[in-house]
């Protein structure tokens, strides 16, 4: 690899491609270094379904309008106010133009989905999912003459003074170095690095499942932090949901998510309930259940429903455990029989009249005198067959990030690193310090990918 490049982009997901395409369109000679082999290119981005856009009227597949202030308010709610307002508003404002840009570069959208994730006004769904978005961008990159090297594992960016002087990577067991004029880091978080997760979370992390790519191990993030590049965020903060306990350790993707919790009771391995399953509609609550399960013994939980509720949520990739009696269910799942039967009997006794039950609205069909109470959709678990899904913590992505400014530029304590920019998960913690808003991850990568690509190309063009 002796060519000189104006820009080396580290990573091969959404943020990387948005940066590479933008820079190439401004005349830069670009290489993408992607550690995954070609069939697994695209990191977590290939698992995605939708992106959140501000709009002042119908836009592409989006209905109605969604103002900057409403979007920002939604973000404040999920982050508890802990966000960088300048960067967050920049993403929100830029999102309106990002959608047509995506369409221009090959991304197609589909009509909104219905069901538990009905987001017809706020979120645009990719036709063919994230995989087809990624494939479209790679096709565009190819047309623009961008070089892509798969299985190129970047290990070190050498920081010399206020410049990245060299990029070191391993390809087919050999070490290589290039000296591009500029670098965009878009290599994700550290969610697939189990040792790092364990350092942050302690031993429970051993039992976490990683919903996305096994390649986001935070190698470049750690390398830059060790050299004094500034960071933001807390290593224990991440997006984590409760997923099917039988999901693979890595890359299970969206099909392993379980949407049955609001219609269930959830018990830990001791057969004990621990949280209000009906606190709010599922899109507003799914992201807290990863942490709740992480706090239970062995980081496992069990959602139990009866035949009344089986068809009320999106089916999981795995069938539930089925039994005609609660004793049989306890035996099949390994739950303590006496305790489980007692927990369900106590719950059933606390349920009142459920005539107002409404699966898609907060129906206030609640328990009385129960701790923890179930504040909506509280119907007795009484009609066999009974079903059980095991739940585990599924980590989506981590929030410890490179600190950037509004131009996506990284810095050290002595000032900006002149030729280093970051985009996507690797800087998303600047906006997401806790909590999550569906569809924001892809928008952060799209907006800051384009900014980073523009800045890097302008730098290289002098």
Ligand X SMILES: Cc1cc2nc3c(=O)[nH]c(=O)nc-3n(C[C@H](O)[C@H](O)[C@H](O)COP(=O)(O)OP(=O)(O)OC[C@H]3O[C@@H](n4cnc5c(N)ncnc54)[C@H](O)[C@@H]3O)c2cc1C
Please name the residue that has the structure tokens 């066999």. 384
DSSP structure string for 234-287: -TT-EEEEEEETTS-SB---GGGB---GGGSEEEETTS-B-S-TTSS-HHHHGG
Window contacting ligand X (CB under 6 A); options: 98-106, 182-190, 229-237, 402-410: 182-190
**51: phi then psi, degrees, rounded to nearest 5:** -140, 145
Q: Does 36 bind ligand X (CB under 6 A)?
A: yes
CB 321 → ligand X: shortest distance, Å? 24
Longest dimension (CA), the chain: 74
Q: Does 42 bind ligand X (CB under 6 A)?
A: yes
Complex with ligand X: residue 193 or 268, whichever CB lies closer: 193
CB 216 → ligand X: shortest distance, Å? 5
Q: Is the separation of the CB atoms in 316 and 258 below 8 Å?
A: yes
- Interaction with ligand X in 138-157: which residues (CB under 6 A)? 153-154
CB 52 → ligand X: shortest distance, Å? 7
- Interaction with ligand X in 407-446: which residues (CB under 6 A)? 424-425, 439-442, 445
Pick from 61, 180, 188, 278 the residue near ligand X by CB under 6 A: 188
Q: Does 393 bind ligand X (CB under 6 A)?
A: no
Window contacting ligand X (CB under 6 A); options: 85-93, 157-165, 176-184, 207-215: 207-215
For residue 8, the cross-strand partners are: 31, 183
Pick from 8, 9, 10, 20 the residue near ligand X by CB under 6 A: 10
Complex with ligand X: residue 220 or 229, whichever CB lies closer: 220
Please name the residue that has the structure tokens 């980590």. 395
Complex with ligand X: residue 79 or 333, whichever CB lies closer: 79
Q: Does 452 bind ligand X (CB under 6 A)?
A: no
Pick from 8, 9, 15, 30 the residue near ligand X by CB under 6 A: 15
For residue 171, the cross-strand partners are: 152, 174
- Interaction with ligand X in 43-62: which residues (CB under 6 A)? 43-45, 47-51
Q: Which residues in 287-325 are b (16+ Cβ under 10 Å) and which e?
A: bbbbebbbebeebbbbbbbbeebeebbeebebebbebee
Pick from 8, 9, 11, 92 the residue near ligand X by CB under 6 A: 11
Pick from 7, 12, 266, 387 the residue near ligand X by CB under 6 A: 12
How many helices and strands, by DSSP H and E, does the chain display?
A: 12, 20
Cis, bond preceding 168 (omega within 30 deg of 0): no
Complex with ligand X: residue 48 or 367, whichever CB lies closer: 48
Joined tokens for residue 87: 């960067």
Q: Is 159 exposed, middle or buried (0-12, 13-18, 19+ CB in 10 A)?
A: buried
Q: Does 16 bind ligand X (CB under 6 A)?
A: yes
Complex with ligand X: residue 329 or 447, whichever CB lies closer: 447
Complex with ligand X: residue 217 or 374, whichever CB lies closer: 217
Q: Does 219 bind ligand X (CB under 6 A)?
A: yes
- Please state, in angstroms and rounded to a whole number, the distance separating the CA atoms of residues 424 and 45: 10
Pick from 112, 180, 212, 290 the residue near ligand X by CB under 6 A: 212
Complex with ligand X: residue 210 or 344, whichever CB lies closer: 210
Please name the residue that has the structure tokens 């070609």. 38
Q: Does 216 bind ligand X (CB under 6 A)?
A: yes
Pick from 79, 140, 182, 187 the residue near ligand X by CB under 6 A: 187
Q: Which helix (H) or strand (E) holds 446?
A: helix 440-460
Complex with ligand X: residue 211 or 273, whichever CB lies closer: 211
Residues binding ligand X: what is the number (CB under 6 A)? 43
Complex with ligand X: residue 9 or 26, whichever CB lies closer: 9
Written in H, E and C, the secondary structure of 143-158 is: HCCCEEEECEEEEEEE
- Please state, in angstroms and rounded to a whole number, the distance separating the CA atoms of residues 415 and 207: 40
- Please state, in angstroms and rounded to a whole number, the distance separating the CA atoms of residues 429 and 432: 5
- Interaction with ligand X in 241-300: which residues (CB under 6 A)? 253-254
Q: Does 33 bind ligand X (CB under 6 A)?
A: yes
Provide CB contacts within 8 A for 121, sequence distance 6+. Answer: 62, 63, 64, 65, 66
CB atoms within 10 A of CB 370: 16
Window contacting ligand X (CB under 6 A); options: 21-29, 210-218, 267-275, 352-360: 210-218
Which residues of the shown chain bind ligand X in the complex (CB under 6 A)?
10-16, 33-36, 42-45, 47-51, 153-154, 186-188, 211-213, 215-216, 219-220, 253-254, 396-397, 424-425, 439-442, 445
């Amino acid at each position: 690899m002796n060519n000189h490049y104006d820009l080396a982009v580290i990573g091969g997901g959404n943020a990387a491609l948005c940066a590479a395409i933008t820079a190439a369109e401004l005349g830069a000679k670009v290489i993408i270094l992607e550690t995954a082999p070609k069939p697994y290119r695209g990191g977590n981005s290939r698992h995605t379904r939708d992106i959140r856009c501000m709009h002042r009227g119908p836009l592409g597949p989006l209905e109605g309008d969604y103002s900057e202030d409403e979007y920002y308010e939604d973000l404040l709610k999920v982050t508890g106010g802990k966000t960088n307002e300048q960067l967050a508003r920049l993403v929100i404002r830029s999102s309106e133009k990002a959608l047509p840009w995506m369409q221009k570069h090959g991304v197609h959208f589909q009509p909104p989905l219905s069901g538990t994730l009905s987001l017809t006004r706020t979120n645009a769904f990719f036709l063919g999912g994230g995989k087809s978005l990624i494939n479209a961008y790679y096709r565009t990159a190819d047309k623009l003459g961008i070089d892509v090297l798969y299985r190129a594992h970047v290990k070190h960016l050498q920081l010399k003074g206020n410049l990245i002087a060299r990029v070191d990577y391993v390809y087919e067991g050999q070490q290589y170095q290039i000296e591009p004029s500029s670098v965009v880091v878009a290599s994700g978080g550290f969610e697939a690095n189990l040792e790092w997760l364990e350092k942050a979370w302690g031993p429970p992390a051993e039992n976490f499942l990683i919903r996305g790519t096994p390649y986001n191990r935070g190698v470049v993030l750690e390398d830059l932090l060790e050299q004094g590049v500034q960071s933001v965020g807390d290593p224990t903060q991440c997006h984590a949901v409760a997923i099917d306990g039988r999901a693979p350790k890595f890359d299970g993707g969206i099909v392993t998510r379980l949407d049955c919790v609001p219609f269930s009771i959830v018990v830990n391995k001791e057969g004990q309930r621990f949280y209000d399953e009906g606190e709010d509609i599922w899109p507003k609550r799914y992201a807290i259940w990863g942490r709740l399960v992480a706090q239970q013994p062995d980081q496992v939980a069990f959602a139990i429903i009866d035949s009344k509720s089986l068809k009320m949520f999106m089916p999981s990739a795995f069938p539930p455990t089925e039994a005609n009696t609660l004793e049989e269910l306890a035996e099949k799942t390994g739950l303590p029989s006496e305790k489980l039967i007692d927990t369900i009997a106590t719950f059933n006794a606390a349920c009142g009249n459920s005539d107002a039950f409404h699966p898609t609205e907060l129906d206030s069909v609640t328990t009385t005198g129960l701790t923890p109470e179930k504040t909506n959709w509280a119907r007795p678990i009484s009609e066999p067959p009974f079903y059980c899904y095991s739940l585990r913590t599924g980590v989506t992505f981590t929030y410890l990030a490179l600190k950037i400014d509004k131009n996506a530029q990284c810095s050290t304590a002595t000032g900006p690193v002149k030729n280093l920019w970051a985009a996507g998960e690797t800087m998303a913690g600047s906006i997401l310090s806790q909590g999550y808003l569906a569809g924001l991850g892809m928008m952060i990568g799209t907006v800051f990918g384009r900014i980073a690509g523009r800045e890097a190309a302008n730098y290289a063009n002098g």
